[in-house]
Amino acid sequence: MSCKNCGGSMIGDGVNSVMHCEYAGDNVDISYMAPDEGPVHCSKDVVGFVTKSNTVVNVFSEEDGSQLGTLNKERGDWYFYGRCTDDQQTNINNYTKNVLVK
């Protein structure tokens, strides 16, 4: 199972420990939660939508639809546009690694 916000791994089983995104600890203290209180997703900016072709992947903001970055599939590198925050870049990299590349 993957986090709906960033595509990261979901940790925990919901019985013995709360099911949560591997990045949820950045903003939520799950140590005080009961195992059945999840799932807890991270609150990183959600990738709004993605367009894909054979050579590039474009990622757009959920807030206003502006383009955040472009992935060159052949080279495997991202170009991030100026308005893309560090958190969004991390989220896009995680999303790419966990969702787009699979």
pTM listed for this prediction: 0.48
Q: In this structure, are 32 and 58 located in the same domain? A: no
In degrees and rounded to multiples of 5, residue 53 shows phi and psi of: -135, -170
Same domain, 53 and 32: no
Return d(Cα 50, Cα 52) in angstroms, integer: 7
Mean pLDDT of the chain: 76
* Preceding peptide of 39 cis, ω within 30°: yes
Same domain, 33 and 57: no
User: Do residue 34 and residue 58 come from a single domain?
Assistant: no
Range of the domain at 8: 1-43
**DSSP-assigned beta bridge partners for residue 11:** 20
Structurally, the chain folds into a number of domains equal to: 2
DSSP character for 99?
I
Distance from C-alpha of 18 to C-alpha of 25, rounded to nearest angstrom: 12
pLDDT digits (tens, 9 = 90+) for 20-63: 888 776 556 778 788 888 888 776 655 566 677 777 778 777 67
Query: 3-state DSSP call for residue 97?
Result: helix
